[in-house]
Each structure stands twice: as structure tokens, then as C-alpha cells.
Amino acid sequence: MGVATAIAAVTVSAIGMVSQGIAARNQARFESEVAMQQANRERLIAKQEEEDFRRRASRMAAASRAVQGGGAREVGEGTSLLLEQDFIAREEEQAGRIRAGGATRALRNEQSAALSRSQGSSSMMSGLIRGGAGLLSGVNSALG
């Protein structure tokens, strides 16, 4: 009866180790999904911020043209043209920064998701190996 009890105890222990590995993998999958959702959200936020910036910049450019239109100079010539071109270039540059910032934050979250998935796979494999090794060691001790 002692051998059977020892084998049963070792089996239960091995099952526990495997279960821990599976639970760790499932937790890592959940964390990975959350990180991917955050990545998608970062892209959406950056897109909305870029659109908001472009709307504000467009209103400012329109107001500037309206002010220039009231003057004696032609709009779209000379200094007013140079100022508008400079404004447009700076607007594009800032919009690009907003977009790049969102892409960087999204990539960081995607990398975190990949790391979580990898850690989960490793945890599961580790649980399987520990469970198998414990089972073999325990059976060997019980029979030897």
C-alpha cells in the first residue's frame, strides 16, 4: 500500500505542476490580449489627435488668410505665400510627430504582448517538464 500511496502523491503533485504551467500560460495570453487592445487604442487615439490637430490648424490657416485678405496685398503672393507654406510644412511635421508617437506606443504594447505570449509558452513547458520529472522521480523512488 505504501508504493501505491507514494505513486498517487507523486501523480497529484505532477498534475499540480502541469496545472500551474497551464494557468501561467492562460494568464500570459490574457495579458497579451490586453496589451494588443492597448496597442489598437494607442493607434486610434493618435489618429484622433492628428485629426483634431489638423482641424485646428486648418481653422488657424483660414483665419490667417482672412486677415491677410483684408490687407492691401494679394493673398497667395510674396510674404503671405511664404508664411502659408511655412505654416503648412510645420503643420505636416507636427501631424507626423503625433502619428509617430502613437505608432511607437502601439509598438511598445505589441512587443509587450509578444513577450507575454512567449513567457506563457515557457511557463507551460516548464510546468510540463517539472510535472514529468517529478512523476518519474517519484515513481523511481517508490519502486526503488
Q: pLDDT at position 73, please?
A: 55
Model pTM score:
0.70
pLDDT at 77 exceeding the cut of 60? no
Write the CA distances from 30 to 16, 37, 109, integer angstroms. Answer: 21, 11, 13
Q: pLDDT at position 82, please?
A: 78
Q: What is the pLDDT of residues 2-27, one digit of tens each?
A: 778 888 888 888 899 999 999 999 99
- The average pLDDT across 101-111 equals 95
Q: pLDDT at position 83, please?
A: 77
